[in-house]
Structure 1
Amino acid sequence: MDVPALNQTSASLTLFCLPYAGGSAAVYRDWQTRLPGWVRLKALHIPGRGVRYEMPPMHGWPELLDLLVEDVQSSVSQPFAIFGHSMGALVGIELAHAIRSRYGHAPIWFGASACKAPGSRERKLDWLSCPEEEFFDQMRVLNGMPEELLQNREFMELVLPILRADFHLCGSYELRDREPLECPMLVLGGSQDLEIARSSESLSAWARETRAPLERRELDAGHFFINTHRDTVISLVADSLARAFHSRGSGVLPSRSYA
């Protein structure tokens, strides 16, 4: 159904996007041109890569959240949403709660992609010290890196500290007792994602993180469908965002045509 265009001067939102383990803000480099014009995308930078390449990777949740909250604080007094893929979704949900706790603002929408729900995660505390081959085996399960790169010593010495830090963040995650969010959620999964497929509840359990409706969509893809099925992901995110924005009583229906 066609709807009127959104008046960007009176209604718009910021979409904070977070990358997967080992990834950078560049994962979202061309999303802005494919999203509706009323969405302002802001990809967040994780230490150890991109513009924060010279910053040591972070192993602890409090330090990372302090950094990211500072990055977004100037934008959270206006409507905002959060999307993350894999580790990015886990960081995103913690960022949403940190923003709500510190500033009293909450996202109007949340998107979790290729990520086990917070309540379905198992702790694993040896990612910083486990043998390299064990680490590489996990990378193979995720199909996150070509074998030739895994066997490239020079390359792996460069990226392994970042990957270990990110995996440690995920492995050391502890779910805290707190009130759920109030915003609608979109949860995306890949039918060929072996890591997610091990537990049928790993995606549906995201419903515990919000009191609002949750929409779950499955793609015929592996763990990194954010790259292999990029246009589909962007389309699903844009449509879900539009529904959430309208349902909050903005007074204007967002346009479904892309900028």
Structure 2
Amino acid sequence: MPELPEVETTCRGIAPHVVNKIVQAVVVRQPQLRWPVPANLAEQVVGQKLLGVTRRGKYLVLRFATGHMLVHLGMSGNLRVVARREDPGYHDHVDIDFGAQCVLRLNDPRRFGAVLWTSAPLLEHELLAHLGPEPLEALFDADYLYQRSRKRKLAIKAFIMDSKVVVGVGNIYANEALHAAGIRPTRAAGTVSRAAMERLVSEIKQVLARAIEQGGTTLKDFVGGDGKPGYFQQQLLVYGRQGQPCRGCKKPLKEVRLGQRSTVYCTSCQR
């Protein structure tokens, strides 16, 4: 599914095309997504100027004077800027129409995404209120992660994928960061040392930053806001490489299931 770098790539890709543009119409072809699209969504935004596009965790946030539209890409969705003349496809469920300028179109084959509206304070929304810090911000550091992990028996991989601990460290990037930090993903979070947490935080920040620069990771369905795929997959060291040689020690990479997620690591380089 689209993870933080893919959502950030989408955010950066669409913003220059739609910010400060006025919504002319909203077209909802399929209201039954993960949660129903609000029936009054058009009433909330038509005629309003889009003031900004930001990201919180894996949610895209479209800011208007009277509230915020929250967009989640689900398992395989994408939010793209398209020409108004481009006919919608079968899985193109929601259009935010900016008139002659462009259309912001949500494509979501599995319908696990969401388009929601809130006029309440943004960070009080039930989907955002309990989220942890952003991984690329200063608040997310080794001291924070070390203190949060003490006495936790949860596997370190599952721990850093908990959005209440830190947002946006999805399966792909958790695999990669733990490998780079030399930490076995099955280790209990509470047994990871302060020094190892320092390495892990640094690697999480680096792997996410690199992925954003490369436009995210395209595995099946993801494309960025400009319709182009991400290229970080070419740099993956462990994810999807089970059975292949570790690029460090050359031993075959092992795959296990943690939380029903594929987890790939090196039994020699990660401890």
Which one has the largest radius of gyration? 2
Task: Pick the structure with more strand per residue.
Answer: 2
Q: Given the two structures, how large is their TM-score scaled by the length of structure 2?
A: 0.23
Task: Pick the structure with more helix per residue.
Answer: 1
* Greater relative contact order, per chain length (Cα 8 Å cut-off, separation 6+): 1
